[in-house]
C-alpha cells in the first residue's frame, strides 16, 4: 500500500481502505467451526457443491508446522482433518454470493462429532508437552548455598487476546492464465505470508503476491500466518474465483490466537543486605491446541524466561520453561508477549521481598539494579545500553509525593496503593538469534529501499508493515532530516511483496531496530550520491537484539464496596534509546500502557471445565474504556544503543510490559494482599481479602 | 422477500429494495459502498459502526436497514466537504486522536452528536460519555482532547 501525505486525512474521512472495504467482487467464504473441544469428525454433510471439508481442502493446501530444538512439530491444517482440538476450530468452509447466504450455508452444514473424553491431543506429543527447555547460568548451587533467605512464590497470568478493533480478514484472487495468486490480508508479516502460501500451495514464491491494506490494529495478533489464510487462498485457486473471508468478533475471540496464560514459579535467593543472588524459575505456559506459526509453542516460555529479573544483577539463574498443549485456542503473540508475565512476576516478587525485609520497594530496586553497560547477564542476555539508576531516580520525587498522599488516604480508611514497574525488554530479534533458538520460520532480517524519482520524489519501500504505528510519518521525518528534502516529496510503500524489498514485517519493535537501521543507511548512501535521479539503494540488515528499559509508577484506588480498582495516576519513564519521532513514540507508550492496564485489571478468557470458552463477545471480554484510563505522563530518558544506526531501541511493547508490573503492584499495595494472579478483578480481590 | 426502503443518507434521498434482515451497517457498506462505517463487533459493544440517525448517535450494526425508513442517516462520508474537514475531524488530526483509524468514524459520529447536543462538555465527564466506543491504540487521552478542542471552537 502506498502511503501519501494524505493518508491520515483519509482516515478521518472514512476512506481508509481496510480489508473489508476493498471492492474486489469476491465470493464470501464462511467457516464451519467446532462446538467441541476435542472430538473425532465422523462425517460432514455440506449443502450442495458449495463447501469443502477439511479432508478435501488438505489435498489443496499443506499444513502449518514449526520445528526446532525442544519443539514437537505438530501439523496445523487449514481445516481440521479427522479431529478437532479446540472449540472454534474450522472443520469446513462454505461460500456464497454474499455473507448472509454464506452464513446460511454454514448453518445448514451438518457435522457428526464423536467427542473424545480423554487422551492426548497430538500423537506426536503424548505427554502434551509441545515445547521444553532448560538453561542455567552462573554458579547456581553456590549462590543458593550462601543465601540468607530464600523466597518462593507462584504467579499466574490470565489467558487473553489482543482484540485489534479490526478483526482478521483475507481476500484471495487466482489468475489461472498467469498462474499467479494475489492475496490481500490484514497482516503484520506480508513476506512470511507469501513464503508460507507458496509452500503450502506448492507455488513459486514469485507467483504469490501479498498486499496489505490499511490495517486496523495488530498488537501481535496479525504477526502470525493463520490456517484461514491458507484455506481462502486454496479455495480461490480451486474455484478460479476471488474469495473473501472477513472474520467476525465471535470467531476472533474463539479462534484467532490467545496469549498470556502462564504460571511462573520463582525462588529468589537473597543475602542479608537484601541483594538478589540468584533466581530459580519454572515457567509453564498453556499454549493451546497447536504450535502457532511462525513463533511456535516456544514463544511465551522463551520470552518470559529471558525477561525474568531482567534489570537486576544476579550471580546465577536457572530456568525450566515449557509450553503445554490444551484444548483451547492456540496461544500466540500479544503485545509484550511473555515479557508481560515476566515483569509481573518479577516485580510482584520484588515488592514481596521488600515487605518481608522491611525495605522500601524503590530502595530495594535501586540496590539491585544493573549498573554497568554493556554487560552479559547471568541469564545470558547481552544488554547493549541503559541507565537503570537514572530511570529509578526519575521516579523518586513523584513516588515520595504519592506515599504522602497514600498516608493521608489510609488515615481516611481509603484503599490507596502505589506500584512500581521496573523492567527491560528485548527488541529487534534478528535472523541469527532466531536460528540460535532453532526457529528457522522467521526471516529475521529487515530491509529498506530508497529510490530517487526523475522529479526528485523520494520513494521509500520497506519490508515492514504498518498497523497504525505511523511508519510513513516517521520515515518522512527521517528522510527530510537525512536528505534535506521536503517531507511532502517522500512517498512510502509498505506491505506489497511485489513492490517492497523482503523483510520480516513488523513485530517485537523491529521497525526501530533493524528497520530504521536499514532505512538510515540507505538514505545516507543516497545523500552521499547527491540524490541523483534514478538512484536506487537497498539495504538489508540482520539486527541484533537491543534492550529498551523503563520504570513506571502507578497509583490505584480501590473502592471499598465494589472493590473496583481504578488507576488514578500513571507515570511512564521510558528508555527506548534515541527517540526518533516523539509523537509516535509517546502514542505507542500511551496506548501500550492502556493495554497493559486492561491486561492487569480486566482481560480474561476463561474456559469451563469441559473446554467451552466463556468469553465470546465484548461483553464477556472486557477491554479498557475511556473512563478506565487516566492521563498518562511520559518522560524519556535516552541511552542510545550502539547497535542501531540512530541509537533507537523501539517502544512498541514497553508501555504494556511496564503496566503489567506497576498496576498489579499498586492494586496489591492498595488492598494489602498478595495479589499474585491476574486479572486483579473485584471477585479475586474479594476472596483474597476474606482469606 | 424484499422491502422498500426510503432513506436520506448524507443529504441524498435513496430508495432501495432490501431484505428485512439486512442491517443498517451492511446496507451502508455493501449496498451504498459507504465503507467508512466500520464493523468491529457486530453486537453493539465496540461502537465502530456508530452513525447519526436523525442526529442521534446509533449503532448501525444493531439496527436493521428497514428501521431507517423515512429517516436521515449521516455517516463519516457526510462529515466535512471536499477540501474542508469539520472542526472535529481537524482536531482528531491535530491531536493524534487515532493510530490505526479503524475506530475513528465511530468516535467522530459519537463526538459530532455530543457537539450538536449543545451540552457543556467537561474533561471530567467526557470519558464517561465516550464509554460506548472502543479504541485499542490511543489510550483515549488524545480523543478526549480532540473533542474538547472542537467543543471549545464552536
pLDDT per position as a tens digit, A511-552: 999 999 999 999 999 999 999 999 999 999 999 999 999 999
Domain limits, CATH 1.10.150.120, in chain B: 87-152
3-class DSSP assignment, residue A72: coil
- Minimum Cα–Cα distance from A633: chain B residue: B141
List the domain range (segments joined by +) for residue A10.
2-121+163-255
3-class DSSP assignment, residue A2: strand
CB within 8 Å of chain A, chain B residues 9-48: 19, 21-22, 26, 29-30, 33-43, 45-46, 48
A306 in the same domain as A446: no
A446 in the same domain as A298: no
How is the beta sheet containing A565-575 ordered, strand by strand?
A415-424, A549-558, A565-575, A632-636
Compute the nearest-CA separation of A164 from chain B (Å). Answer: 6
Report mean pLDDT in 10-residue bins for chain B, 154 residues. Answer: 96 98 98 98 98 98 98 97 95 97 98 95 96 98 98 78
pLDDT per position as a tens digit, B27-39: 999 999 999 999 9
Contact A540, A443 (CB under 8 A): no
Domain limits, CATH 3.10.20.30, in chain B: 3-78
| Residue A475, number of CB atoms within 10 A of its CB | 31
Spans in chain A with pLDDT lower than 50: none
Residue with C-alpha cell 440517525?
B53
* CATH number, residue A654: 3.30.365.10
Q: At the fourth CATH level, which superfamily is domain B3-78?
A: Beta-grasp domain (3.10.20.30)
A494 in the same domain as A550: no
| Total number of domains constituting chain A | 3
Q: Taking CB atoms and an 8 Å cutoff, what residues of chain A touch B93?
A: 8-9, 12
One CATH from 1.10.150.120, 1.10.1520.10, 3.30.310.50, 3.40.50.11540 for B87-152: 1.10.150.120
A496 domain-assigned? yes
**Nearest CA-CA partner of B109 in B81, B74, B140:** B74
Contact A261, A299 (CB under 8 A): no
3-class DSSP assignment, residue B40: coil
Show which of A225, A255, A285 is a domain's final residue. Answer: A255
The answer to whether A12 contacts B92, with C-beta atoms less than 8 Å apart, is yes
A339 in the same domain as A453: no
DSSP code of residue A638: -
CB within 8 Å of chain A, chain B residues 57-116: 75-77, 79-80, 85, 89, 92-93, 96, 98-105, 108
DSSP code of residue A62: P
Q: Taking CB atoms and an 8 Å cutoff, what residues of chain B touch A631?
A: 141
A660 in the same domain as A513: no
A153 domain-assigned? no
Contacts 24+ apart (CB under 8 A), B16-22: B18/B65, B18/B66, B19/A100, B20/B64, B20/B66, B21/A100, B21/B64, B22/A100, B22/B64, B22/B65, B22/B66
A139 domain-assigned? no
A445 in the same domain as A500: yes
A463 in the same domain as A395: no
How far from A518 is each of A189, A540, B145, CA to CA, in Å? 17, 6, 36
- Whether this model's ipTM surpasses 0.95 comes out as yes
A88 domain-assigned? yes
A609 in the same domain as A520: no
3-class DSSP assignment, residue B129: helix
Q: Pick from A13, A18, A617: which is nearest to B38 by CB?
A: A18
Compute the nearest-CA separation of A513 from chain B (Å). Answer: 21
Show which of A255, A285, A308 is a domain's final residue. Answer: A255
A291 in the same domain as A191: no
A129 domain-assigned? no
A685 in the same domain as A602: yes
How much is the pLDDT for A99? Answer: 97
The answer to whether B108 contacts A12, with C-beta atoms less than 8 Å apart, is yes
Residue with C-alpha cell 514437537?
A72
A437 in the same domain as A382: no
Show which of A255, A288, A323 is a domain's final residue. Answer: A255
Helix (H) or strand (E) holding A115: strand A110-115
Residue with C-alpha cell 521497525?
A511
How much is the pLDDT for B154? Answer: 59
* Beta-carbon contacts of residue B148 (< 8 Å; ≥ 6 apart): B121, B123, B126
A532 in the same domain as A554: no
Amino acid at each position: 500500500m502506498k502511503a501519501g501525505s494524505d493518508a491520515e486525512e483519509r482516515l478521518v474521512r472514512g476512506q481508509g481502505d481496510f480489508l473489508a472495504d476493498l471492492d474486489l467482487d469476491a465470493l464470501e467464504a464462511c467457516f464451519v467451526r467446532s462446538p467441541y473441544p476435542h472430538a473425532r469428525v465422523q462425517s460432514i454433510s455440506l449443502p450442495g457443491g458449495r463447501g469443502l471439508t477439511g479432508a478435501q481442502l488438505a489435498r489443496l493446501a499443506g499444513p502449518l508446522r514449526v520445528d526446532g530444538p525442544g519443539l514437537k512439530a505438530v501439523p496445523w491444517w487449514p481445516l481440521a482433518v479427522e479431529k478437532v482440538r479446540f472449540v472454534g476450530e474450522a472443520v469446513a468452509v462454505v461460500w456464497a454470493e454474499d455473507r448472509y447466504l454464506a452464513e446460511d450455508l454454514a448453518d445448514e452444514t451438518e457435522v457428526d462429532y464423536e467427542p473424545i473424553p480423554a487422551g492426548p491431543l497430538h500423537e506426536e506429543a503424548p505427554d502434551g508437552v509441545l515445547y521444553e527447555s532448560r538453561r542455567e547460568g552462573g554458579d547456581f548451587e553456590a549462590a543458593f548455598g550462601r543465601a540468607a533467605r530464600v523466597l518462593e512464590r507462584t504467579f499466574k497470568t490470565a489467558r487473553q487476546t489482543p482484540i485489534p478493533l479490526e478483526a482478521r480478514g483475507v481476500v484471495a484472487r487466482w489468475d489461472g492464465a498467469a498462474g499467479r495468486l494475489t492475496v490481500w490480508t490484514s497482516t503484520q508479516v506480508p513476506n512470511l505470508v507469501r513464503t508460507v502460501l507458496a509452500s503450502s500451495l506448492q507455488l513459486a514464491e514469485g507467483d504469490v503476491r501479498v498486499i496489505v491494506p490499511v490495517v486496523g490494529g495488530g498488537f501481535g495478533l496479525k504477526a502470525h500466518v493463520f490456517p484461514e489464510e491458507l484455506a481462502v487462498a486454496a479455495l480461490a485457486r480451486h474455484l478460479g474465483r476471488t474469495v473473501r473471508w472477513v472474520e467476525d468478533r465471535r470467531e476472533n475471540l474463539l479462534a484467532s490466537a490467545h496469549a498470556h496464560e502462564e504460571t511462573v514459579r520463582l525462588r529468589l535467593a537473597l543475602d542479608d543486605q537484601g541483594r538478589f543472588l540468584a533466581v530459580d524459575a519454572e515457567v509453564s505456559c498453556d499454549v493451546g491446541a497447536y504450535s502457532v506459526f511462525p513463533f511456535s509453542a516456544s514463544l511465551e516460555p522463551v520470552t518470559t524466561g529471558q525477561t525474568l529479573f531482567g534489570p537486576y544483577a544476579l550471580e546465577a539463574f536457572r530456568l525450566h520453561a515449557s509450553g503445554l498443549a490444551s484444548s483451547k485456542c492456540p496461544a500466540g503473540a500479544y503485545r509484550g508477549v511473555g515479557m508481560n508475565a515476566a515483569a509481573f512476576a518479577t516485580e510482584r516478587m520484588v515488592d514481596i521481598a521488600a515487605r518481608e525485609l522491611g525495605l522500601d520497594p524503590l530502595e530495594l530496586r535501586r540496590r539491585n539494579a544493573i549498573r554497568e553497560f554493556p554487560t552479559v547477564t547471568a541469564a545470558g542476555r547481552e544488554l547493549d545500553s541503559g541507565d537503570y539508576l537514572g530511570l529509578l531516580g526519575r521516579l523518586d520525587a513523584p513516588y515520595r509525593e504519592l506515599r504522602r498522599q497514600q498516608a493521608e488516604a489510609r488515615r481516611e480508611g481509603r484503599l490507596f496503593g502505589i506500584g512500581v514497574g521496573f523492567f527491560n525488554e528485548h527488541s529487534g530479534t534478528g535472523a541469527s538469534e532466531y536460528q540460535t533458538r532453532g526457529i528457522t520460520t522467521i526471516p529475521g532480517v529487515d530491509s529498506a529501499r530508497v529510490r530517487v524519482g526523475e522529479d526528485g520524489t523520494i520513494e521509500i519501500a520497506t519490508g515492514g508493515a504498518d498497523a497504525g504505528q505511523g511508519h510513513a510519518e516517521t520515515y518522512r521525518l527521517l528522510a527530510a532530516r537525512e536528505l534535506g528534502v521536503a517531507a511532502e516529496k517522500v512517498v512510502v510503500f509498505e506491505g506489497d511483496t511485489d513492490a517492497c524489498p523482503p523483510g520480516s514485517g513488523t513485530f517485537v519493535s523491529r521497525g526501530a531496530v533493524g528497520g530504521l537501521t536499514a532505512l538510515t543507511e540507505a538514505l545516507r548512501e543516497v545523500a552521499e550520491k547527491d540524490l541523483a535521479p534514478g538512484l536506487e539503494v537497498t539495504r538489508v540488515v540482520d539486527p541484533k537484539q537491543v534492550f529498551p528499559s523503563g520504570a513506571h509508577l502507578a497509583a490505584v484506588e480501590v473502592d471499598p464496596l465494589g472493590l473496583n480498582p481504578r488507576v488514578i495516576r500513571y507515570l511512564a519513564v521510558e528508555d527506548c534509546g534515541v527517540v526518533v519521532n516523539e509523537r509516535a513514540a509517546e502514542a505507542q507508550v500511551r496506548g501500550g500502557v492502556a493495554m497493559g492496564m486492561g491486561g492487569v485489571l480486566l482481560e480474561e478468557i476463561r474456559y469451563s471445565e469441559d473446554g467451552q470458552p466463556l468469553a465470546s463477545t465484548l461483553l464477556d471480554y472486557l477491554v479498557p474504556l475511556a473512563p478506565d484510563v487516566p492521563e498518562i505522563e511520559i518522560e524519556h530518558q535516552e541511552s542510545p544503543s550502539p547497535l542501531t544506526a540512530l541509537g533507537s531501541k523501539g517502544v512498541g511493547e514497553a508501555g504494556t510490559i511496564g503496566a503489567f508490573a506497576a498496576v498489579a503492584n499498586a492494586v496489591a499495595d492498595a488492598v494489602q494482599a498478595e495479589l499474585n494472579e491476574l486479572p486483579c478483578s473485584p471477585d479475586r480481590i474479594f476472596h483474597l481479602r476474606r482469606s | 422477500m424484499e422491502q422498500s426502503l426510503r432513506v436520506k443518507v448524507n443529504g441524498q434521498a435513496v430508495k432501495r429494495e432490501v431484505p428485512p434482515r439486512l442491517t443498517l451497517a451492511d446496507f451502508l457498506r455493501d449496498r451504498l459502498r459507504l465503507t467508512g462505517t466500520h464493523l468491529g463487533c457486530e453486537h453493539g459493544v465496540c461502537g465502530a459502526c456508530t452513525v447519526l440517525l436523525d442526529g442521534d448517535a446509533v449503532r448501525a450494526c444493531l439496527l436493521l436497514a428497514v428501521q431507517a425508513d423515512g429517516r436521515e442517516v449521516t455517516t463519516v462520508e457526510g462529515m466535512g466537504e471536499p477540501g474542508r474537514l469539520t472542526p472535529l475531524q481537524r482536531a482528531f488530526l491535530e491531536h493524534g486522536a487515532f493510530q490505526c483509524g479503524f475506530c475513528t468514524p465511530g468516535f467522530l459520529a459519537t463526538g459530532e452528536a455530543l457537539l450538536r447536543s449543545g451540552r457543556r462538555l467537561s474533561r471530567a465527564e467526557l470519558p464517561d460519555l465516550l464509554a460506548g466506543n472502543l479504541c485499542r491504540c490511543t489510550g483515549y487521552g488524545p480523543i478526549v482532547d480532540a473533542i474538547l478542542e472542537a467543543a471549545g471552537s464552536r
